[in-house]
Structure 1
Amino acid sequence: MNERTPLCIVVIGVSGTGKTTTARLLAERLDIPFAEADDLHPPANIAKMSAGVPLDDADRQPWLESIGRRLHAGDAAGTGCVVACSALKRRYRDTLRAACPGIFFLHLTAGHDVLEERIGNRTGHFMPKALIDSQLAALEPLEPDERGAALDVGPAPEEVAEAALELLAER
């Protein structure tokens, strides 16, 4: 890892884009810790999503603050962190950025059909296909003043991770 590589990276996008897989691969290749933001949801949020009910901003705020603390801790310790987190809206990313100003957002993108297929094929996850449309409606792509980049997830996960490493090296 060179000194230009951001140590705190948040892999964002709607459910089914491969955030967890990509974030794990990046963490391994950069030799920094990985965190799954879904593991930081309080039980009430998981129950709500499992019932097919989208979270509202009040549900998300404590969760985002917890993720921000995890990023801040990795930054402060110098170990860095790669986090898989939807962070669909600018204000959610602002909350994370307030906790860790130097973070880099890697926005994974995919078409609706790809998302439906991926979510339909996975097991053991609380996010149902029914919430894809609400996530896509809520999605606010990265703005020019946000440190980050978008990446299509059509290729195999290893190729997506390699492309992400190339994007990080460029910055």
Structure 2
Amino acid sequence: MGEALTQALVDRGQAVEFVDADALHPAANKEKMHAGIPLTDDDRGPWLDACSSRIAEVEASGSRCVMANSALKRAYRDRLREDAPDLFIVFLDGSRELIADRQRHRHHEYMPNSLLDSQFATLERPGADEAVAAVPIHGVVDDTVAAILAVLP
């Protein structure tokens, strides 16, 4: 999704860099997830700091940053804004069943399907006071990208 959105923005003439936040996880986090152990807030802290710093770096270079990041809790989203106060988040909104089905059809190096329940247990849906737009993901990728483009500032 993030790569398709990035390409759509590039096609519109914008300077954009896509960052997959999973690549910024420390090795210890990757090992825990690979073993099917959910991450704690303490585990996620250094990762969130790395994500926030990377967003700020990309934006400081003059590009727009599109980052694929779970940011499951309000506190995580707030932490991402520490280095990027103008951060706008798109919440990809789908049912547990839809996301489980999509996850079964993709390979992820260290995120086993068994962790999906812990992800949903941790999830705090964005509040109305956050700079967040919820976009449904039940359609095809092109429809979702179009919906995202329609809500981006």
- Superposed, which structure 2 residues align to 1:26-105 within 5 Å? 26-31=5-10, 32-105=16-89
The question of 1:116 aligning with 2:100 is answered: yes
| Letter in structure 2 aligned against 1:26 | L
Q: Which ranges in structure 1 are unaligned for 5 or more consecutive residues?
A: 1-21
Percent identity reads 40
User: Counterpart of 1:98 in 2: which secondary structure?
Assistant: coil
The question of 1:166 aligning with 2:150 is answered: yes
Paired with 1:140 and 1:124, the residues of 2 have a C-alpha distance of: 23
Paired with 1:80 and 1:112, the residues of 2 have a C-alpha distance of: 30
Counterpart in the other structure of 2:4: 25
| Letter in structure 2 aligned against 1:165 | L
| Letter in structure 1 aligned against 2:84 | C
| Letter in structure 2 aligned against 1:104 | F
Shift of 1:35: 0.3
Superposed CA offset, 1:122-156 (max 9, x none): 12432112111111111111112211201111100
User: Counterpart of 2:144 in 1: which secondary structure?
Assistant: helix
Counterpart in the other structure of 2:140: 156
Paired with 2:150 and 2:140, the residues of 1 have a C-alpha distance of: 16
Q: Which runs of 4+ in 1 moved over 2 A?
A: none
| Letter in structure 2 aligned against 1:23 | G
Greater relative CO, 1 or 2 (CA 8 Å, sep 6+): 1
Paired with 1:129 and 1:159, the residues of 2 have a C-alpha distance of: 25
Q: Which ranges in structure 2 are unaligned for 5 or more consecutive residues?
A: 11-15
User: Counterpart of 1:81 in 2: which secondary structure?
Assistant: strand
Counterpart in the other structure of 1:135: 119
Counterpart in the other structure of 1:6: none
Counterpart in the other structure of 1:17: none
Paired with 1:29 and 1:67, the residues of 2 have a C-alpha distance of: 22
| Letter in structure 1 aligned against 2:90 | L
